[in-house]
Amino acid sequence: MKKLIIAALLCLAGSLSYGQTVISVDYAGQIGTTRTLTNAQPDTILLQITKARPSLTFKYDITKTSGTLSGTIVLQARITGIGTSEAWYTVNSYTITDATATNVVSLTANQFVNYRIITTPGTSQVAVYKKYLVARTY
């Protein structure tokens, strides 16, 4: 009887673990460094994602220090590398408002290899900017 109960529990545990889908993460973390930008000081982060990904998520955290926040954060992409004549394609544009904010841009695949995030703050402000990326594997 004891063997029968153990066998039943093992079968149940095996069927439960088989039914779960696990999506692993190849990279999850901050990209670039934490930047304190003052008075229209632009910042650009370049990155390459060369492997196929089922999803990419970019996140921007903006913490107001002083002044009136304004400006934009633009996510751009292109297929060819740096130094080529291919134009950058704007994937997303986020307008910075006068408050501490968070914005998330989710892509269902990475159709491009090269990405850049351009932060262009307005005048009369000081804010801390952090950018994050989650790149999932199949």
What pLDDT digit, counting tens, does each position of 13-28 carry?
A: 443 333 334 444 678 8
* pTM beyond 0.85, yes or no: no
CA distance 100 to 32: 20
Are the beta carbons of 79 and 32 closer than 8 angstroms? no
Domain annotation covers residue 6: no
Q: How many residues does the chain have?
A: 138
Residues ≥6 apart with Cβ < 8 Å to 38 = 125, 126
Domain for residue 14, yes or no? Answer: no
Q: Residue 57 is part of which domain span?
A: 23-136
Give the C-alpha separation, 50 to 110, whole Å: 9
Q: Nearest-CA neighbor of 121 among 101, 137, 136, 107? A: 101
In angstroms, the Cα distances linking 74 to 2, 8, 94, 103 are: 63, 55, 6, 11
Residue 126 within a domain? yes
The edge-to-edge listing of strands for the beta sheet with 89-95 is 43-48, 114-121, 71-78, 89-95
CATH code assigned at 39: 2.60.120.680
Number of domains into which the chain is organized: 1
Could you read off the pLDDT of 23-68 as tens digits, one per residue? 446 788 999 899 999 988 999 999 998 888 889 999 999 999 999 9
Is 110 a domain residue?
A: yes
pLDDT at 26: 77
pLDDT in tens, 77-123: 999 877 889 999 999 999 998 888 889 999 988 889 899 999 999 88
CA angle, residues 81, 118, 96, in degrees to nearest 5: 155
